[in-house]
Chain A
Amino acid sequence: MLVAKAEGIVKIYKGNGLPVHALRGLDLEIQEGDFTAIAGPSGSGKTTLLNLIGTLDTATEGKIFIDNQDISKLLPYELADIRLRKLGFIFQFHNLIPVLTCQENAEFVLLLQGCPAKERKERVDNVLHDLGLLELKHRFPRELSGGQQQRVAIARAIVSYPKLVLADEPTANLDSKTGQALISLMLDLNQKYKTTFLFSTHDPIVMEAAKKLILLRDGKIVSTLNSVK
Chain B
Amino acid sequence: MLFTGMAWKNLWRNKRRTSLSILLISFCLTALIFLLCMVHGFQEEIIKSSINTYTGYFQINRKGFFDNESLAAFIEKPDAIIQEISSIPHIKAVTTRILSLGLVGGGNNSSGCLIVGIHPDREAQVTTFRNGVIKGRFLEPAEQNAIIIGVDMAQRLDLPLQGEATLLLLSSTGTIEAVNLQVVGIFDSGNPAFNRNMVMVSQSLLSQLVGYGNTKVSQIVVAIDHNRHLEETAQAISEKLRKFQAFYTDIDSSTKIPIDMIQEFGDVYVKMEKGIEFEKKLELLSWKEILPALVDVVQLQNIVLKIILTAVFLAAFIIVLNVTIMGVMERKREFGILKAMGMRSSQLAKLIFMESLMMTGAAFVIGTTLGTGISLLISYFPIAISSDLPLFKLGLIEPLIKPFVTIKSLLQPAIAVCLIAILAPLWPIWEISKLTPTETIRSV
Contact = CB atoms under 8 A, between A and B. Distances in A.
A99 B13 contact: yes
B342 A91 contact: no
Interface in B314-346: 333-334, 337-346
Given A94-B444, A98-B13, A56 B340 contact: yes
Contacts of B338: 97
Interface residues on B, range: 20 to 34
Contacts of B345: 76-77, 80
Given A97-B334, A100-B9, A112-B2, A80 B438 contact: no
B125 interface: no
B437 interface: yes
A109 B340 contact: no
B337 A56 contact: no
A188 interface: no
Interface in B110-162: none
A123 interface: no
A83 B347 CA distance: 14
B346 to A, nearest CB: 7
Interface string B421-441: 000000000000000111001
Nearest to A84: B342
Contacts of B13: 98-99
B6 interface: yes
A201 to B, nearest CB: 17
Interface string A68-80: 0000000011001
Contact of B341 (A51, A57, A76, A112): A112
Nearest to B444: A94
B369 interface: no
B348 to A, nearest CB: 10
A37 to B, nearest CB: 20
Nearest to A157: B341
B52 interface: no
B166 interface: no
B381 to A, nearest CB: 45
A54 B437 CA distance: 10
Contacts of A56: 339-340, 436-438, 441
Contact of A80 (B333, B334, B342): B342
A80 B341 CA distance: 8
A83 B438 contact: no
A12 interface: no
Contacts of A111: 2
Contacts of A113: 342
A160 to B, nearest CB: 9
Contacts of A97: 6, 334, 337-338
Contact of B10 (A82, A99, A108, A109): A99
A97 B436 CA distance: 19
A5 interface: no
A81 B342 contact: yes
A95 B2 contact: no
A108 B344 CA distance: 14
Given A56-B438, A89-B340, 10 more contacts: A56-B437, A77-B344, A83-B340, A84-B342, A85-B342, A98-B13, A100-B9, A108-B341, A113-B342, A156-B341
30 contacts: A51-B437, A51-B438, A56-B436, A56-B441, A76-B345, A77-B345, A80-B339, A80-B342, A80-B345, A81-B342, A82-B342, A83-B340, A84-B341, A84-B342, A84-B343, A87-B342, A89-B337, A89-B340, A89-B341, A94-B333, A94-B334, A94-B444, A96-B337, A98-B334, A99-B6, A99-B9, A111-B2, A112-B341, A112-B342, A112-B347
Interface of A: 51, 54, 56-57, 76-77, 80-85, 87, 89, 91, 94-100, 108-109, 111-113, 156
